[in-house]
Amino acid sequence: MLLTNFFITVTSIGHNLERQLLLSNYDKNIIIMKNSISILYLWMFLILAGAGVSCSASKDASKTARKEIKKKAVREARKEARRYKRQDWYVAPGALPMDKQVERAWEKQYLQDENGYPLYLVATGNSVAETQAAAKLQSMELAKLELAGLVQTNIAALIENSIANNQLNAEDAASVTKTVAASKNVIAQEIGRVDVLFEIYRRHDMNTESTVRIGYRTDMAMETAKKAIRKQLEDETDILHEKLDRLLNF
């Protein structure tokens, strides 16, 4: 859009110069205006060409990165899927083939944001129950708990640094540290809908074992955790709202 507006502006200037050229009665002015028009259009061409090359290079780099992620995911997925099949794991009827499910999980794990940090947090849960449905439910809850543990670890490091920067007194700092350390279950309860990357099963006599791997966007997980921890701090401490705003501003 910016390039389009720029092109329209420059073209309009060029047309104005051409109109002035037609109205001019002096050869000297004609030569100057002709040169101005030529330089103006050359400048416009170079800028547009440079922008096009830059955009093309960025697209090519992004495309190459996606191909590399896909290549790594396929390689890791094949190895992992072969191991599961040798151990008598199977997928639910109607689900994607095991290779494809595991490949999708690895792709999520390799994705990064613009700063090079993981775009998704990935966690696994395993459980055994009398029915497949019960086993899946339990393994999902365990996977969410593991996911919450990953988020808690990240939040704890950030809050520790924030405590130092905001110069909380010893009592408030101890309250915050204690609340964060005990926040794993609370965060797990607040985590919303997760992306089930793969789910596999195998039989154990009369029982069924379930393993699920889930993914959750890192930014969403961090925001969910901050809200949960803030609510706990508001309920359990006397720290002012302004201090909490500064403390959780990361």
| pLDDT mean by block of 10 residues, the chain; 250 residues | 48 52 48 56 58 51 66 83 94 92 89 87 96 96 94 86 78 85 87 92 95 94 88 80 77
Picking from 213, 218, 111, the residue whose alpha carbon sits closest to that of residue 154 is 218
Q: Are 105 and 215 in contact (CB under 8 A)?
A: yes
If DSSP codes are grouped into helix, strand and coil, which group holds residue 248?
coil
pTM higher than the cut 0.75: no
Give the pLDDT confidence score for residue 12 in this predicted structure: 55
Element (H, E) at 162: helix 132-166
Up-side HSE of residue 98: CA atoms within 13 Å toward CB?
Answer: 21
Give the pLDDT score at 62: 58
pLDDT in tens, 23-48: 454 455 555 555 555 565 556 655 65
249 with 162: CB under 8 angstroms?
A: yes
pLDDT the model gives residue 50:
57
pLDDT of res. 6: 46
111 phi/psi in degrees, rounded to 5 = -65, 140
Whole-number pLDDT of residue 76:
84
| Residue 138 burial by Cβ neighbours in a 10 Å radius (0-12, 13-18, 19+) | middle
Report d(CA 158, CA 249) in Å as an integer.
10
Helix (H, G, I), strand (E, B), or coil: what is residue 87? coil
Beta-bridged to residue 128, according to DSSP, are 209
Tokens read off for 1 = 């859009």
Q: What is the DSSP letter of 201?
A: E
Token match 């889930």: residue?
214
- Do 140 and 212 contact (CB within 8 A), yes or no? yes
